[in-house]
Amino acid sequence: MDPKVVFETDRLVVRDWADSDGDRVFDIYRRWEVSRWLGADPKVMTDRDSASRVIERWNERNQDPLYGVWAVEEKSSGTVAGTVLLVPLPEPSDSTEGKGEVEVGWHFHPDAWGRGLATESARAAIAHGFKAGLGEIYAVVRPDNTASLAVCQRLGMRSLGRTTRWYGAELESFVI
Give pLDDT, residue 98. Answer: 55
Q: Which residue has the higher pLDDT, 13 or 97?
A: 13
Q: Return mean pLDDT, the chain.
A: 94
Which pTM was predicted?
Answer: 0.93
Mean pLDDT along residues 91-120: 86
Give pLDDT, residue 93. Answer: 59
Is residue 70 within 8 Å of 83, Cβ to Cβ?
yes
Close Cβ partners of 70 (under 8 Å, ≥ 6 residues apart) = 6, 14, 15, 16, 17, 58, 62, 83, 84, 85, 125
Give pLDDT, residue 134. Answer: 97
Is residue 54 within 8 Å of 29, Cβ to Cβ?
yes
Domain span including residue 9: 5-175
CATH number, domain containing residue 11: 3.40.630.30
pLDDT at 94 over 90: no
> Structural domain tally of the chain?
1
Angle at 43 (CA atoms; ends 125, 154), nearest 5 degrees: 30
Cβ neighbours around 136 below 10 Å, total: 13
Give pLDDT, residue 39. Answer: 84
Give pLDDT, residue 132. Answer: 96
